[in-house]
Amino acid sequence: MRIFILLIAVVVLDQLTKLWILNSFQLYESREIIPGFFNLTYLTNKGAAFGFLAGVTAAWRHWFFLGLVSISLVLLVVAYFRMRADHPFYGPALTFIAGGAIGNVIDRLRHGAVVDFLDFYVADHHWPAFNVADSAITVGVAVFLVANYLEEKKKPDYHQNSGNC
């Protein structure tokens, strides 16, 4: 039940922040928050991470992304039920990833593109704009990797102990 609440919280927070951006900004409008470091900038991304396939105008791109996310969500659910008991961080990590994926797929279905608005930069060098869903996916992957590392450290190293054979 807590995992479901976490999933809903990620999706709702993502969608509420995007709704605020959509209602408060014009497309490409930018507001400086921390000079020289952070802006809120309303952008859309028709591609995947870092604009992958954004320039493709073929109709298959939309269905490709929806299919990819659908397959990913099924795999995340399977992974969740297989791994959740292995380490207490696996469940939340996979939930963050799924919540982020759902948040971005809602954008694709509603707007035909993902709404991005978090714009970090130093001088003229901007990190690609992102959103709460992207952040949840990133945090989820990082937590998953840490949990995986911790689980691997628990396993005995048979190679070091097999020198007496």
Residues forming the active site: 116, 134
Q: Which residues contact 161 (CB under 8 A, 6 or more apart)?
A: none
Q: What's the Cα-to-Cα distance from 26 to each of 10, 41, 113, 115, rounded to whole Å?
A: 25, 9, 15, 12
CB 6 within 8 A of CB 13: no
Helix ranges restricted to H, the chain: 2-24, 60-83, 90-111, 132-154, 158-161
Q: CA-CA distance, 96 to 137, in Å (whole number)?
A: 6
Give, as one character, the DSSP assignment of residue 117: E
| Nearest by Cα to 107 from 11, 4, 10 | 11
